[in-house]
Amino acid sequence: MPTCHVCQKNFQNPSSLIQHMEAVHPEAGSVVMQEADVLAVAGAFVVVAGAAAVTAAAAVKALKPDVMQRYTLAADEHGGTEPVEERIIEYERKLPFKGFSSGHLFPNEPNFRRSDGSGLALSSKEDLLLPASWTWLDGDWCVVTGAKANASGTDREGWMYAFNWAGDDGYGATGGMKDCVRRRIWSRTRVPSTPHWPET
């Protein structure tokens, strides 16, 4: 069981210990985690041999899932000649006295996911790449706001809030004291880069 080496408090998992160290003992510098504890959080994403002494921030960075990668859409995905809207979801978590940030996400939580149900994790919006046969119609990604993003609406910046990650209907348009996570949806439209002429 992970233990804070400053106040000797025990935690159920390394993620809780990391959050505690960053919030309560930022000056302490290091967190010691045993291999079993690391693997319990990271699963198959990363292997850490033996005991590791690392800063809290480095621990989070080291344990981020390897599935966060650049991904090129298949050339025949959503085939046809019509424009296709791509959506990805951005995530942030709140820490006491520090507010919301993607840097506060747990080790197994990605910064972005594709919203098509595949669960594809991305580190940034720019990591969703197009094949050569498609091009972006929009100049950049745009935030989806209001009822188009969430039945309960969003705030001005498109964020929707919840105590913990919820289904599509579990988010509110404003954040309260108990809301620890938030997400927002980004949209961009792609079109075939060359016209498709039907065979005659």
* Higher pLDDT pick, 127 / 71: 127
pLDDT tens readout for residues 77-129: 555 678 889 999 999 999 998 999 999 999 888 999 998 877 789 989 999 98
Distance CA 119, CA 121 (A): 6
Average pLDDT of the segment spanning 22-37: 50
One-letter amino acid identity for 159?
W
Q: Which amino acid is at 166?
A: A
pTM greater than 0.95 (yes/no): no
Residues 171-198: tens digit of each pLDDT: 999 999 999 999 999 999 999 887 555 5
Neighbours of 14 (CB within 10 A): 27
Both structure tokens of 166: 């919820």
Q: Which residues of 131-161 are buried (b: 16+ CB within 10 A; e: fewer)?
A: eeebeeeeeebeebbeeebbeeebbeebbbb
Rounded Cα–Cα distance for residues 154 and 174 (Å)? 7
